[in-house]
């Protein structure tokens, strides 16, 4: 991402257009026009808050699911990936390199709900060869935000 305005919006979407213009030495009208154009053409899809789930009561669980698929003739991975992405439980879906084809991020109210999604919906799709589910235990950084600002003081004690 080379555009300084997009970088600022990504780091803090709550800047006013005036603050963005001042920071980048641009005209406020130009900033407003550029943002409106990006929203219209789909460059900017939406705005979200980054939430520290540790501070939210009953926040549920998140899982990263590696999915191996058979590419479709004429459609490659796209058609199946879009089918997966449309499930309500799916937060993110990426084509990935390595030992699997798709990385799917899923949220549910508990472990059983995620397990049901994988066994009843995801793994039963035509073209899905296998899945491997990894549950998120703790987040340290997300979207550029570090969750714990306190670093341990000094060196750790060494014991024999």
Per DSSP, the three-state class of 134 is strand
Residue 63's domain comprises 55-137
Q: Six-digit token pair at 33?
A: 């026009």
Give domain status of residue 64, yes or no: yes
Give domain status of residue 114, yes or no: yes
Query: Which tens digit of pLDDT belongs to each residue from 96-118?
Result: 999 999 999 999 999 999 999 99
Give domain status of residue 61, yes or no: yes
Give domain status of residue 154, yes or no: no
Q: Give CA torsion, residues 77, 1, 139, 84, to 10 deg.
A: -20
Query: Which tens digit of pLDDT belongs to each residue from 127-146?
Result: 999 999 999 999 999 988 89
Using the Cα atoms of residue 134, residue 140, residue 144 and residue 145 in order, give the sign of their dihedral.
positive
Please report, for the domain that includes residue 111, its CATH number: 3.30.70.920
On the question of pLDDT at 153 being above 90, the answer is: no
**Residues 63 and 132 reside in one and the same domain:** yes
**Residues 63 and 25 reside in one and the same domain:** no
């Amino acid at each position: 991402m080379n555009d300084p305005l997009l970088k600022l919006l990504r780091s803090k979407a709550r800047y006013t257009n005036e603050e963005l213009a001042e920071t980048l030495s641009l005209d406020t009208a130009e900033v407003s026009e550029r943002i409106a154009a990006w929203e219209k053409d789909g460059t900017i899809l939406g705005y979200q808050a980054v939430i520290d789930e540790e501070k939210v009561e009953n926040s549920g669980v998140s899982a990263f699911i590696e999915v191996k698929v058979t590419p479709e003739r004429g459609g490659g991975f796209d058609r199946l990936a879009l089918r997966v992405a449309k499930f309500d439980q799916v937060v993110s879906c990426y084509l990935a390199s390595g030992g699997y084809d798709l990385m799917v991020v899923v949220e549910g109210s508990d472990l059983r709900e995620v397990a049901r999604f994988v066994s009843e919906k995801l793994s039963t799709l035509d073209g899905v060869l296998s899945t491997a589910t990894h549950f998120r235990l703790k987040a340290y950084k997300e979207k550029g935000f570090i969750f714990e600002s306190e670093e341990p003081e000094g060196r750790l004690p060494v014991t024999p």
